[in-house]
Structure 1
Amino acid sequence: MVGAWAALAAAPAAAQGTVRRHLVYFRDKTGTPYSVAQPQAFLSARAVARRSRQGIAVLPRDLPVNPAYVNQIRGLAGSPRVLYTSRWFNAAVISCDSTTLTRITQLPTVRRASTLNRQLVAKPVPSAPVQVPDVVARGTQATRAQYGSAYRQNLQIGALAMHDAGFRGEGMHIAVFDAGFPGVNQISALQPLFLQQRLVSTRNFVDGGTSVYLRNPHGTNCLSTMAGNQTGFYIGTAPRASYSLCITEDTGSEHPVEEANWLAAAEFADSSGVDVISSSLGYTTFDPPSVSYTYADMNGRNAISTRAATMAARVGMMVVNAAGNEGDDPWHYISAPADADSIMSVGAVDSLGSHAFFSSYGPTADGRIKPTLAAMGFAAAVLSANGSAFRGSGTSYACPILAGMAAGFWQANPTLTAQQVIAALRATASQANNPDNVLGYGIPNFLTAYNVLHPNAPLATTARQLNSGEPLGIFPNPNKDGPLTLVLPVVLRGHALRLRVFDARGAVVVQQELPAGSSGEVPLRLGRLAKGVYTCEVSGNSTRRTVKFVQQ
């Protein structure tokens, strides 16, 4: 957990000889070899396409830190280590002792520096998730059997209807920021991530490197509520989305470095072309002598993670963050970065839609309504690191449950911007006409929001109609130079089909006729495609299905 910018600047200097982490701010980006006219040098094709679709320009804030400035620091006596840099803040996280830090701050290219961690910390011991007795879900036996214990949390926000309409997150890229992901590479309900090549990337911003199947299982629990995909046992809200996993949180201590990790992860997600960030993290207090927040700091402007979340929203990502679990504590209010503007801050309810006693309250210190929306976070079904299902409580679970649905809603409405997606869900939620600082605008519902946007072509609401909505699939996704395979829903099999592929601007780049066949898998020969995000549309038998894929 991390303090405000002002608090960081005022913190006492580290003792000489002890190596700590510091956030070093540069004065400018003068002389940088990068240019906003050539964003492909520092942003992926998917990241550029995400901005283009939403009319967001690449700006000087997006340019990387000047490499010459970084090399100046690396060349100083004392062997300072540059752990990572921040484009948005024009800064770098440096590991060094106080003598070396003094040399760094004397460089003419450096504006100032702040110490991020105050003590060396042992590796944390994973804490057990909060568990409550299993709750029997109501509903049709068939549907409940398919979704297992995750049925109720999917039903509450309309994710069942979303899935039946063919939107399970295909082509959407979700980044999860958390404290660890042990067991993810072994849990049977998460194996489709690997078999279908939808685990795009991993980063460990605490230890360095890419190993993430370790540390605290909180991230595993949260990921499962979206990515779980084992029919008859557990299905999450975005079971066919692609994912990036980032460890940013060190549960063994609370210091400013964790928010710097969040910032670095957000910039990594941005450059990778991520659509949605799901973060079940919050910052209010941290260990002495670091300076803790006060409620006055929850104004959307002070915290590093809050500023980072705001920047992530400005470059077109949808940021979904837990509101916090301080509702029954003296703190009472939301935590950072849930106070950020333009993001979706998620409170927790039970299966009946009532406020969970622990869910943090709004408003922000500057009077804005928070949380934004709410989802099931009391007795929510999650998966443990050993693959078993249990029921746990926390806005930590409400956040990814809703993030998965929001990703599917964006998939269903690809012409919307991230901010328009949030606005559409907010405007049709259960308390849209009377928002408060308990549940915000209330509990959203995919079907309600979709049908308001499409009054002339609403989705079916009966089970018989919805069952025809099996989605279209494509793999591998992302794809490099290899062949693609189309996975047809039953309704399209055995029929002559028309295939069209659209680029990110909506232009048709491939058009083919596919002969009738009985197989559910059809090899595709699309020719040479430029790097970018594409939408594949298949129509036939009075049915149309679409799926997004990425060409790398």
Structure 2
Amino acid sequence: MKKKLLFIVLLLSLKSFSQEDAWIYFSDKPSAQSYIDNPLNMLSQRAINRRITQGISLNVQDVPIHQPYVNQVDAATGITVKAKSKWLNAVHVRGTQSNIAALSSLGFVSSIRYANHSLNPGGRIAPVANRNTQKVNKFMDTQVNYNYGSSATQVQMLKADWLHQQNYTGEGKIVAIMDAGFPGVNTEAPFRRLRDNNLILGGYDFVHRANNPYTGFHHGTQVLSNMGGFVDNQLVGTSPDAKYYLFITEDIDSENPVEESYWVEALEMADSLGVDIVNTSLGYFEYDNPAYSYTYNDLNGQKSFASRAADIAFSKGMICVTSAGNSGNSANPHIGVPADAATNLAVGAVNSEEVKTGFSSIGPTFDGRIKPDLMAMGINVTVATENGTIASAAGTSFAGPILAGAVTSFWSAFPSKSNAEIIRLVKASADRYTNPNNNYGYGIPDFKLAFNNALSDSQFYEKEFILYPNPAKNQIIVSFTHLVSDCEISLYNILGQTVLKKKIKDNQSIDIDNLNAGIYTYKITLDHKSETGKLIKK
């Protein structure tokens, strides 16, 4: 009977691997201009405001994927569309190799990329599964020992408590957490403060296509507790007054690249809802089908679907914080996907003595960049469970959200600063900033120092231009305070649409007579450095 069962399992396994996963890339978006002309049809006002504040123009990436194309692919023989991405203009499909290849005959399909690397042009030979290798724990080897320890060390290590004392607790910022599930968040005491203050804005289960995030595996519950949890004298998250969206992108029952595509879908939804910070305590390296797994050579920030999307998220004004991984003691000790993205803040783990834990994944990326970026406490971390009890846990899973919450509270102190400015200030405050390495990255940030540096920037920064008059009626003039070789001005309306863009010279008059009265955002770029501000047109 046992042999028969094993035989059935083998057949099921072979059958599952006969189905391939792939990304089908489309050539265009026929309705792009209509959406760009009417941006509220594709983005919330808060998402548009984030772009305006940071001087970010709308572009074709913001436009939804062309649904008729998706429908035609989904209707093709033997093809199932599992996910879609507007940023990458692609759909994730499943089917046999021959059925997937047949999609190339569709006129709007520009290319096909298989998850099975050996099927792509120049792809490598698929690795053979090592039957003696234990399955990697995708949740960063969470270790729970129930006790009632204090969360003080994990917060104070970053001086996030100092931010709280200054009343910067994440208020006004929105965080999206992408994880495996959030059971208990809607019922248990450690999350009551979030519920009572209407700080949970909603959520979605991308795996099961359902509106209920309060299900699935409890990992996301513990992660949220490090940011927004609150139990007096037991647990205080690093951003207790931020608002949260809860997204399930992880399928606990399997490891497949479709989870990357779910993650990208969630990231795009987060952008459209106006989210500022994204936390991900998941990483991808090995998949159930070894032909889909990554190798170290793939960790260049450009290979994986998820890592490419993470960089796009940054270009939209968001900050993505990702756990570095727990493979530091393994044969593959490097960070995974999407932590390898250049703009992602990859977070490693230290103990209470600020010494790197052995399990914390290391850098560099394959193309030689420093990773992880920063470190936070990741062992004996205080968390709340799905049952409402207070527990101790270990893993970069928790170092990531502890730091993400601190970044959120810090950004709430300086909401007009761009994501790039915030990351620069946080990294510059870290204890290894002048001498980074691939174990600690730039080290452990000091948010009190970052705050003081940001305040100094605000008080003493000498502008390189003067824009006047403001308010203005017919024209404005930009005068340079230093020698500048190249300057460009852009004006954006309240919907983020570009209404003026031109190269200018010192003291040149710029006609704005044709603009309607109202408030505009200007972006002035001088020798590749940009500043933004508000212009009132009378």
TM-superposed deviation, 1:290: 3.1
CA contact (8 A) 2:43 2:272 kept: yes
Structure-2 change in CA distance of 1:130 and 1:52 (3 Å): same
CA contact (8 A) 1:16 1:97 kept: no
Task: Give deviations 1:17-46, integer Å, cap 9, x for gaps.
Answer: 987765322122235464323221111111
Distance in 1 (CA, whole Å) between partners of 2:113 and 2:457 is 56
Q: Which residue, out of 113, 130, 146, partners 2:143?
A: 130
Percentage of pairs with the same residue: 37
TM-superposed deviation, 1:242: 0.5
Q: Give yes or no for the alignment of 1:93 onto 2:92.
A: yes
CA contact (8 A) 1:32 1:67 kept: no
Distance in 1 (CA, whole Å) between partners of 2:368 and 2:77 is 48
Distance in 2 (CA, whole Å) between partners of 1:363 and 1:249 is 26
CA contact (8 A) 2:115 2:292 kept: no
TM-superposed deviation, 1:378: 1.2
Alignment of 1:349-428 (within 5 A): 349-428=350-429
2:272 is matched with which residue?
271
CA contact (8 A) 1:17 1:99 kept: no
TM-superposed deviation, 1:134: 5.5
Distance in 1 (CA, whole Å) between partners of 2:255 and 2:33 is 37
TM-superposed deviation, 1:84: 3.9
CA contact (8 A) 1:326 1:334 kept: yes
TM-superposed deviation, 1:213: 1.6
1:207 is matched with which residue?
208
TM-superposed deviation, 1:190: 0.5
TM-score by length of 1: 0.72
* Stretch moving more, 325-334 or 64-73: 64-73
Matched to 2:393, the amino acid is G
1:454 is matched with which residue?
455
Distance in 2 (CA, whole Å) between partners of 1:456 and 1:51 is 22
2:506 is matched with which residue?
none
CA contact (8 A) 1:153 1:401 kept: yes
TM-superposed deviation, 1:375: 0.5
Distance in 2 (CA, whole Å) between partners of 1:342 and 1:456 is 22
TM-superposed deviation, 1:180: 1.2
CA contact (8 A) 1:203 1:245 kept: yes
Q: Give yes or no for the alignment of 1:50 onto 2:41.
A: no
* Stretch moving more, 228-237 or 68-77: 68-77
CA contact (8 A) 2:138 2:283 kept: no
TM-superposed deviation, 1:215: 1.8
Distance in 2 (CA, whole Å) between partners of 1:61 and 1:286 is 29
Counting matched residue pairs gives 431
CA contact (8 A) 1:117 1:256 kept: no
2:532 is matched with which residue?
none
Distance in 1 (CA, whole Å) between partners of 2:340 and 2:139 is 28
Q: Secondary structure at the match of 1:222?
A: helix
Alignment of 1:116-195 (within 5 A): 129-132=142-145, 149-195=150-196
CA contact (8 A) 2:83 2:258 kept: no
* Stretch moving more, 103-112 or 379-388: 103-112
TM-superposed deviation, 1:291: 2.7
TM-superposed deviation, 1:456: 9.4
Structure 2: where are the runs of 5+ without partners?
1-13, 118-136, 460-492, 496-517, 519-538
Alignment of 1:147-546 (within 5 A): 149-455=150-456
Task: Give deviations 1:48-82, integer Å, cap 9, x for gaps.
Answer: 1111111111111221112332233355566x554
CA contact (8 A) 1:134 1:379 kept: no
Structure-2 change in CA distance of 1:355 and 1:18 (3 Å): closer
Distance in 1 (CA, whole Å) between partners of 2:332 and 2:66 is 40
Distance in 2 (CA, whole Å) between partners of 1:253 and 1:71 is 27
* Stretch moving more, 286-295 or 125-134: 125-134
Structure-2 change in CA distance of 1:455 and 1:90 (3 Å): closer
CA contact (8 A) 1:17 1:98 kept: no
TM-score by length of 2: 0.74
Matched to 2:366, the amino acid is A
Distance in 1 (CA, whole Å) between partners of 2:408 and 2:154 is 16
Distance in 2 (CA, whole Å) between partners of 1:150 and 1:360 is 24
CA contact (8 A) 1:117 1:257 kept: no
* Stretch moving more, 14-23 or 347-356: 14-23
Distance in 2 (CA, whole Å) between partners of 1:407 and 1:315 is 17
Superposition CA RMSD, Å:
3.0
Distance in 1 (CA, whole Å) between partners of 2:431 and 2:139 is 37
TM-superposed deviation, 1:391: 1.1
Distance in 2 (CA, whole Å) between partners of 1:206 and 1:419 is 32
Matched to 2:356, the amino acid is H
* Stretch moving more, 245-254 or 87-96: 87-96
Structure-2 change in CA distance of 1:130 and 1:87 (3 Å): same
1:67 is matched with which residue?
67
